[in-house]
Amino acid sequence: MNLMTLTIGLLGEHLENSLSPLIHRSFICHYSLNYCYLPFQIKTENLEKAIYGAKALGIHGLNVTIPFKEKSMGFMDSIDPAAEKIGAINTIVRKNEKLYGYNTDWNGFKEPLKKNMKIKLIDKKAIVLGAGGAARSVVFALAEEGCPVISIFNRSKDRALGLKRNFNNIFPQCEIKTFPFQRKNLQEEIDNADLLVNTTPLGSWYYPGQNPLPEEIKPPSKLIVYDLIYCPDRTPLLRWAEINGNRILNGKEMLIYQAAESFYLWTGLYPDQDIMTKILSKIRKKENL
- Of the candidates 278, 261, 97, 128, the one whose C-alpha atom is nearest the C-alpha of residue 194 is 128
- Of the candidates 38, 29, 97, the one whose C-alpha atom is nearest the C-alpha of residue 62 is 38
Nearer to ligand NAP, 202 or 224 (CB): 202
User: Cβ 228 to ligand NAP, closest distance in Å?
Assistant: 4
Stretch 241-260: interaction string toward ligand NAP, x if CB under 6 A = ----------x--xx--x--
State yes or no: residue 130 binds ligand NAP (CB under 6 A): yes
Give the residues across from 64 on adjacent strands.
11
Q: What residues numbered 222-241 form the site for ligand NAP, per CB under 6 A?
A: 228-230
Yes or no: say if 189 and 181 are a contact pair by the CB < 8 Å rule.
Answer: no
d(CA 136, CA 101): 16
If one counts every other C-beta atom within 10 angstroms of the C-beta of residue 66, the result is 15
Of 28, 119, 131, 241, the one binding ligand NAP (CB under 6 A) is 131
Q: What residues numbered 57-86 form the site for ligand NAP, per CB under 6 A?
A: 66
State yes or no: residue 271 binds ligand NAP (CB under 6 A): no
Catalytic residue check, 69: yes
State yes or no: residue 108 binds ligand NAP (CB under 6 A): yes
Nearer to ligand NAP, 53 or 180 (CB): 180
**Cα separations (Å) of 79 from 5, 11, 82, 144, 262?**
26, 18, 8, 18, 14
Element (H, E) at 6: strand 6-12
If one counts every other C-beta atom within 10 angstroms of the C-beta of residue 116, the result is 11
User: 43, 69, 120, 184: which one is catalytic?
Assistant: 69
Binding range to ligand NAP, per CB under 6 A, among 40-48, 50-58, 133-141, 233-241: 133-141
Active site members: 69
| Interface ranges with ligand NAP (CB under 6 A) | 66, 105, 108, 130-135, 154-156, 159, 199-202, 204, 228-230, 251, 254-255, 258
